[in-house]
Structures are given as C-alpha cells and as structure tokens.
Amino acid sequence: MISVDEALSHLFALVTPLEADNVALIKAHGRVLARDVSATRNQPPFAASAMDGYAVNARAIAPGQTFDVIGEAAAGHAWAGTVGASQAVRIFTGAPLPEGTDHVIIQENVTRTGDTITLDDSANDTAYVRPAGADFKMGDTIRAPRLLTPSDIALLASMNIATVPVTRRPIVAIIATGDELVQPGEAPGPDQIIASNSYGLAALINQLGATARLLPIARDNRASLALAFDLAADADLIVTIGGASVGDHDLVGDVAADKGMDRSFYKVAMRPGKPLMAGQLGDATMIGLPGNPVSAMVCGHVFLAPVIRKMLGMGEQPAPRENHPLAKAVPANGPREHYMRAHLGPAGVTIFDRQDSALLTVLADANCLAVRPINDPARPSGDHIAIVRL
C-alpha cells in the first residue's frame, strides 16, 4: 500500500492540463481562464460624475459663490462645449465631465433660482469625480488560471472581451460495475441494490467543471467490462466503481490490463477507500474506485477533485484543508489515514459515531471529512483537527 500523498503524486503524473477552447462570454461562468486576457479600453473611458449635481471648475469654488447654468449632461449624453470659470453644467451620475470642469458640487449643496446656482457654506472639497481609467486601464490583465466567477464575468464584459479562452472541460466516463446494481427508477430484484455511486460522482464531477458521462452498468463478466471500456475510449478520464478488489468477481483490473492499461498503483493506506487503482489506458487516465458508496464519494473528494483541477489547469494541489477544534473527544486512529464523516458547527468539529462505508445517510448529514493521520493518538475536546469541506 502507498500513502494518500504518494497516490496523489502518481495521479498528478498521469494527467496534464487540457487545451483551450474559446467560448462566448455568456458561457464562460464557472470555466477556468486558460490564457491571460487584457482590457481593450479604459474604465471609465472618461472622467465621469459620481453624483447628481453641477460640474464646475474647482478653482472657482467658494462659500456663497454663484454660477450660471449653461447646459446639462447625462449618462450617454455628454455636453459639448467649454465651461467658463463662472459657469456650471447640470450633470447626472455617469455623465462625462464637460471641458473646463474638474469638480462636481452635489445638488444638495446648492440653491437654484432659474439658471443660477448658489453654493451653500459647505467646503465642497470632495470632487465627486471618477477619473478616466480609475477602475482599470487598457492593457490591464486578468491572469490565468482563474476560475471565473460572476464578478469576473462582469469585469470581462466591462473590458469589452466578448470571447474568452477557457480550458476545455474534461470528459469523465463513469463505469459502475456489478451484477447487483440497477439504475434508479428500475425495480431491483431481491438481491439487488440501486447504483447510487455513479450519480453522486457525476454530480461532483460536473460541479468541478468537468463533464460526466454515465455509461451503462458493466456486469461481472469480462465481455461486459470490455464493452464498457470500449465505450469510454474517447474520454479524458475513466472512472470505474467497484470490481477493483481481489475477489473472484473483481475483474476490473484484469480487463483493464487486457485493454493495455499501464498500472500506476493499487491500494492506498486510507479509510475508507483502500482498494484504489490507477493507471494509463490509451490516451485516458483510469482511476478504479471502491464500490462502497461512501468509499467512492470520499475518494472522489480526495483524488478525483484534485486530478480534475489539474486537468483544468489549476495546478497540483490536494483537497484544501482547514484546522478547527474538536467538539468532543475522539479515540486513537489505526494504521491507515482515516477520512471520517463529520459536521463543522459553532462548537467545532463533531465526528459522527457511525463510520460504516455503506451509510450514505451519514455522508449526507456531513459537511466535512475529519482527517486522522496514521496512528493519530486519542484527541480531547478542543484539540484542532484538519478537515476537508464537502
């Protein structure tokens, strides 16, 4: 068996970032920026008013000073002309400042009679002007890689970038294996169960920015498994669920070898998830996950997520960890790194008593995995423990 860190290192060595696609800005949210992009204009492109008021020359400002109002400027409707020292232009938020002005007196600080305004006794020393290029300037750059958020999309739009270079979404083929499985909605036989793992993993894969492709359930025979691998041949990543152990019906490794898989490792010193397998199969990376539902999902967070992030160009990083205090004491851990279902709340981390790898209800109640190192001693309440958020 190898450690979790060693397994991740092997997995990272199997994958490289994918090529870039150009997509319309409206479709770029949630994608990973593949190349640096630069602004094609200044923002704002001109000095603009930040408030409704009157544009004047700052040198003429004094308490009680009067100005003749000679025009009006609104957003999208600049006032053309030059403003003299004793003149003002009525201006609204977002409008360009007219030539000859560099200051906006807010409308609350003037009294207007006809076309004349009189300043109050305030200092009026705040300009209320947004300088040209105050937000960004032409050539300012958004650096890749970057997972594009709604705020990023707004920024790209403001930079007048209509087409965005993003990393292609990895295609992840999911092969659930086992004679005992039927699809959700079907009527299981007396000795069958529902194939839940593949749907949970598909949701995780899609959430990570890849594209999950659910293949038909592969039965516990070589012909069915061989057909499933053939159907997955054009994927970037092949994920099998179950059949990777050493029982008489665990044929995934053998059939993958028949198909030419170059195995990288088999078995990891972790709970749950020990019977993990990975290698290269043609142009695809293959990861064989254990069949127990919780084991498969935990391995999805610990291994699949970092692998997909690397394929998206986000670098080689394990699942992010945080340290939080334990809400209650826990006993010593054994000889494998243990990823325990837990809940992080105001009192700290509560590790659930039931950790059986078949219990999806416990996983659904968890919002994190508490990570216990190999042979970690008993921990009292208040001790800090590492967690991976779910």
Residue 246: the pLDDT is 54
Residue 245: the pLDDT is 58
Inform me whether the pLDDT recorded for 294 exceeds 50: yes
Residue 298: the pLDDT is 97
**Spatial CB neighbours of 247, under 8 Å, sequence gap ≥ 6:** none
Mean pLDDT of the chain: 96
Inform me whether the pLDDT recorded for 177 exceeds 90: yes
Tokens of residue 362, six digits: 């416990």
**What's the 3-state SS for 221-272?**
CHHHHHHHHHHCCCCCEEEEECCCCCCCCCCHHHHHHHCCCEEEEECECEEC
Inform me whether the pLDDT recorded for 302 exceeds 60: yes
Residue 243: the pLDDT is 77
pLDDT in tens, 334-347: 999 999 999 999 99
Biggest CA–CA distance in the chain, Å, is: 96
CA–CA gap between residue 32 and residue 19 (Å, rounded): 11
CA–CA gap between residue 319 and residue 339 (Å, rounded): 12
pLDDT in tens, 96-148: 999 999 999 999 999 999 999 999 999 999 999 999 999 999 999 999 999 99
Say what percent of the chain tops pLDDT 90.
97
What does DSSP say about strands 384-389 and 368-372: parallel, antiparallel, or unpaired?
antiparallel
Name residue 163's amino acid: T
pTM to 2 decimal places = 0.89
Residue range 32-36: mean pLDDT, rounded: 98
Please give the torsion angle defined by the CA atoms of residues 305, 306, 310 and 316, in that order, rounded to the nearest 10 degrees: 170
pLDDT class of 248 with cuts at 50, 70, 90: very low
**Spatial CB neighbours of 49, under 8 Å, sequence gap ≥ 6:** 55, 73, 91, 92, 93, 94, 95, 97, 104, 128, 129, 130
Cα–Cα distances (Å) from 112 to 69, 103, 119, in that order, read 9, 18, 9
